[in-house]
Amino acid sequence: MLQHPQVKGPGVGLLGFSLGADICLSMASFLKNISATVSINGSGSSGNSTIHYKQISIPPLGLDLKRIKVTFSGILDIVDIRNDIVEKFENPSIIPIEKAQGPILFIAGQDDHNWRSDLNVQTASERLQAHGKEKPRIILYPGTGHYIEPPYFSVCPASVHKLFNKVVIWGGELRAHSKAQVDAWKQILSFFSQHLGGTHKGVSPKL
């Protein structure tokens, strides 16, 4: 990416959602030249499989399928299946984001039913501060579910989950979620403009 003609450098920015957010947080923690990272509804921990980087392994946090709930319509609600995070600051399943060189923007929906993203970002913030880092920027959106996508994308309240091969609920109230997608896009562009050497106060979303 650093060799791409449209990449200004000297570093790059990362934007990830859900598992992609955790991949971005891992990259920011272990790789150089990551100037800014945006995590959208990430967990901040190793999910269902071990994260490997050279000789480093981050074991999965684990889950308990007995905690799956079934809604009145038969759709699964998996929000509580992941194991609780104990020893927040030294838990081996937590991605060591305190090693990241660039700033991190955390975006979370407070009605996320994939996992409790609002609690995850709070844990991440506490971990960073416990390691002497500044409190990161956190944006929480009430009434907003898991799939915070670019503006004007259709809201996805439920769909088939690859892990379970069944339909699960993602959360989000239509109006609140739609408004969050519009605002989050602006916040992301502003964050990257600030930390990737942008000069414009207002950045065109080109949508």
**Domain annotation covers residue 113:** yes
Higher pLDDT pick, 88 / 122: 122
CA distance 102 to 178: 29
Query: Whole domain around residue 54: which residue ranges?
Result: 12-62+84-151+173-195
Q: Which two tokens stand for residue 160?
A: 């088939």
Confidence of residue 163 (pLDDT cuts 50, 70, 90): confident
Share of the chain above pLDDT 70, in %: 94
In DSSP notation, 57-85 reads: EE----B-GGG-EE-TTS-EE-TT-BPP-
CA distance 200 to 207: 18
Q: Which two tokens stand for residue 64?
A: 């308990």
Cβ–Cβ under 8 Å, residues 28 and 48: no
List Cα–Cα distances, 33 to 101, 133, 157, in angstroms: 8, 18, 36
Q: Read off the pLDDT of residues 164-188 as tens digits, 9 standing for 90 and up.
A: 999 999 999 999 999 999 999 999 9
Mean pLDDT of 48-64: 91
Share of the chain above pLDDT 90, in %: 77
Q: Which amino acid is at 49?
A: S
This prediction has a pTM of 0.91
Looking at residue 127, which CATH number applies to its domain? Answer: 3.40.50.1820
Q: Does residue 200 have an active-site annotation?
A: no
CA distance 174 to 189: 23
- Which one of 112, 117, 118, 195 is the catalytic residue? 112
Higher pLDDT pick, 10 / 166: 166
- Examine the pLDDT at 6 and tell me if it is beyond 90: no
| Residue closest to 108 by CA, chosen among 184, 161, 37, 35 | 184
DSSP 97: G
**Domain annotation covers residue 201:** no
**Domain annotation covers residue 5:** no
Residue 205 is predicted with a pLDDT of: 56
160-186 in b/e form (b: 16+ CB < 10 A) is eeeeeeeebbbbbbeebbbebbebbbe
**Domain annotation covers residue 204:** no
Higher pLDDT pick, 200 / 192: 192
Residue 117 is predicted with a pLDDT of: 96
- Which one of 18, 29, 93, 117 is the catalytic residue? 18
**Domain annotation covers residue 108:** yes
Cβ–Cβ under 8 Å, residues 183 and 189: no
Percent of the chain as helix, strand, coil, to the nearest 5: 25, 20, 50
- Examine the pLDDT at 45 and tell me if it is beyond 60: yes
Q: Which residues contact 192 (CB under 8 A, 6 or more apart)?
A: 13, 15, 36, 38, 198, 203
**Domain annotation covers residue 2:** no
Higher pLDDT pick, 67 / 49: 67
**Domain annotation covers residue 184:** yes
Number of domains in the chain: 1
Confidence of residue 90 (pLDDT cuts 50, 70, 90): confident
Q: Does residue 146 have an active-site annotation?
A: yes
- Examine the pLDDT at 88 and tell me if it is beyond 70: no
Higher pLDDT pick, 85 / 138: 138
Report the alpha-carbon angle 203-204-205, nearest 5.
Answer: 110
Higher pLDDT pick, 72 / 124: 124
- Examine the pLDDT at 138 and tell me if it is beyond 80: yes
Q: Does residue 39 have an active-site annotation?
A: no
**Domain annotation covers residue 159:** no
